[in-house]
Structure 1
Amino acid sequence: MWIKKGVVYKTDGSKPFSRTHAQVPFAFPIYQGDSVERLRVYFATRDENRSSSTSFVELDPNDLNNVIYVHDQPCLTKGAIGMFDETGAMPSWFLQRGDEIWLYYTGWNKSETAWYRLGIGLAVSRDGGLTFERVHDGPLLDRSIYDQVWVAQPCVLVEDKPDGTSHWQMWYLSCTKIEVINGHPEPFYNVKYAESEDGIHWNRTGTVAIDYDEFTDAIGRPAVIKEDGLYKMYYSYRNATNFRTDTAQSYRIGYAESTDGIKWERKDDLAGIDRSEDGWDSLMMDYAHVIQLNGKTYMFYNGNGFGASGFGYAEKQ
């Protein structure tokens, strides 16, 4: 069971790069010695042209409702004309790798028929996460024989082995088709799985982690943690019809478990959290990130408007 703690941050629209949205929050602890000095929350925000960039706020780790710093510039912005991320760079997953911070992000570009296309890129920070530089101008993963339309929003875990090798696992969104519903092109996407030895070159075989069902037409932002040898995934899921306005069809939080990270069993009834009766997360809950901090487990997530209403958090009891 989760206890909701309310909205933490919503952009005031005063910055040119951040007119609206605090989307896909990711909580990243900043340490001073062995203790967490600040909890930095990265998110995607939009300018007046709806182009996404990455920025962050910092929270008091002893009072997560207390925003102690708001970054006044983007850490990563859209790419050059013609690139896979020319209309936006949305953060997805951060990893500390030695003195570097690796950011797996979603790049946006426009589509005449399907509204948009997405790909997965990698950027690295060498200044403690204040700025990020692209490792490559092109995507690490794009549409393929296994991912017909686009790929997006990866979750990445890595196990460094005693022999010096590493085992990387990725769970990512895979759009397999577009259907025009009520005159609008709607994407259908599930969660697929990939592996790597270096975090850059990924092996895909079309393995599905979380699939469609009678209700589920789209699954948002998988977030995986390992606890007592068990993989636990939180995600959001919705139907494709009227999900922007109809509570019965819109995003809610789901949950699944796995012993190997490859084969998953959905247990949505054990998610332990649902949309509120009214308020900022009454229509939808989406894009969750789960973090274990100081012996507690927290979920950061978006509510109504896909991040337009800001992000909040809940504490697991």
Structure 2
Amino acid sequence: MSMRARQWRKLRRIFDPRDFRLANGCREFAQAPQAVVFTDFVRIYFSTRCRDPAGGGNYLSHVAFVDVAKHSFEILAVAGHTVIPLGRPGCFDEHGIFPLHVLRHGALLYGYVCGVNRRVSVPVDSAIGLAVSRDQGLTFQRVGRGPLLAASLHEPCLIADPCVRVVNDVFHMWYIFGAGWQRSGTSPTIDRIYKIGHAQSPDGVRWAKDDGRQIVSARLGADECQAMPTVIELAGRHHMFFCYRACHDFRHNRARAYRLGHAHSDDLLSWTRDDDEMRLERSADGWDSEMLCYPNVFACDDAVYLLYNGNDFGRHGFGVAILD
């Protein structure tokens, strides 16, 4: 069967944070699910939120995880402890981690942290750091207080959403970089614009990025926002899934909200966009009818699965689809 003939088939929503007691007083959102396959189960890390005790109506974003049975996705356990604490005052991850992308590296688990810190003129900034787990992913410890990848000459803000794969002993990272912030007319809200970029590393720590190079073409014009790339090899070709939206009026307008995109590559460097290949559509009603966002694709035994968030940016959890 050709890749083009294959499509995603939705299974169900598998986790709703309102049904569980999470650490740090978090009761809302289960965003950016990221899967790690173990021998007998799948661990899914996600970012959840609580109100900042400092006030102001702001959120703090914490990492949690849920363990599920292979293939049935029945819940086995939910983390009730702090997986990784937030950064110290003034650090890049002071106000949240969203997402935590986890990669097996020998006996360790590398956790690529997208740290969030609040700003004055714009809502947030972000950068990518590294933490390591020596207890099979129960907890992570930072290798340093600062980031691995941050704003640079041609990527002035919002370095975020890491996805890391090792191919032929080279670490490849796909991430997003902010091209800037933009207001729509006289609206008091300022919205970010971001694109998918690429970096390489010999060891997963020292990174050289293609500074400012957008590697996936846009469908919605120059202001299209692209987020959360996830890359997998299928039948000898590399496939990237991501989400994209319009720059403005995307929060409550279904026509401009997040949906899933796709691109493929034979060399990991040049990507051809084809959203119709292995497409996943929004449902007619229910928890994923308004938007689809923050995908994560992974192989488990002989199956390939897609985790994703639905309406309101994952406020009501995440679901799973299988590649038929």
TM-score by length of 1: 0.93
Residues of 2 paired with 1:156 and 1:199: CA distance?
8
**1:3 to 2:12 alignment:** no
User: 1:113-152: CA deviations, max 9, x gaps?
Assistant: 1100000011000011000000110000010012111200
- Aligned partner letter, 2:151: R
Contact 2:63 2:100 in 1 (8 A): no
**1:97 to 2:141 alignment:** no
**1:171 to 2:174 alignment:** yes
- Aligned partner letter, 1:131: T
Unaligned runs of 5+ in 1: 32-36, 161-165
Q: Specify the alignment match of 1:163 in structure 2.
A: none
Residues of 1 paired with 2:300 and 2:220: CA distance?
36
Query: How does 1:242-261 map onto structure 2 within 5 Å?
Result: 242-261=249-268
**1:152 to 2:155 alignment:** no
Residues of 1 paired with 2:252 and 2:303: CA distance?
34
Q: CA deviation at 1:7?
A: 1.0
- Partner-residue secondary structure (3-state), 1:137: coil
- Partner-residue secondary structure (3-state), 2:244: strand
Partner of residue 109 from structure 1, selected from 87, 106, 117: 117
- Aligned partner letter, 1:26: Q
Contact 2:263 2:272 in 1 (8 A): yes
Q: Specify the alignment match of 1:201 in structure 2.
A: 206
Contact 1:77 1:88 in 2 (8 A): no
Structure 1 outlier segments of 4+, above 3 Å: 13-17, 211-216
> If each structure's strand is expressed as a fraction of its own residues, which one has the higher value?
1
Q: CA deviation at 1:14?
A: 3.6
Q: Specify the alignment match of 2:242 in structure 1.
A: 235
Q: CA deviation at 1:62?
A: 3.8
Residues of 1 paired with 2:320 and 2:260: CA distance?
13
User: 1:225-264: CA deviations, max 9, x gaps?
Assistant: 1123311000000001211101100000100001111111
**1:77 to 2:56 alignment:** no
User: 1:62-98: CA deviations, max 9, x gaps?
Assistant: 411x111111122112100000110012234211112
Q: CA deviation at 1:196?
A: 0.8
Contact 1:171 1:209 in 2 (8 A): no
Percent sequence identity over aligned pairs? 33
- Aligned partner letter, 2:161: Q
Residues of 2 paired with 1:88 and 1:223: CA distance?
21
Residues of 1 paired with 2:128 and 2:25: CA distance?
21
Unaligned runs of 5+ in 2: 1-6, 53-58
Contact 1:17 1:45 in 2 (8 A): no
Residues of 2 paired with 1:288 and 1:204: CA distance?
23
Residues of 2 paired with 1:138 and 1:167: CA distance?
23
Partner of residue 297 from structure 2, selected from 275, 290, 306: 290
User: 1:272-297: CA deviations, max 9, x gaps?
Assistant: 21111110011110000011112111
Contact 2:217 2:273 in 1 (8 A): no
Contact 1:17 1:53 in 2 (8 A): no
Q: CA deviation at 1:213?
A: 4.2
Partner of residue 67 from structure 2, selected from 44, 58, 63: 58
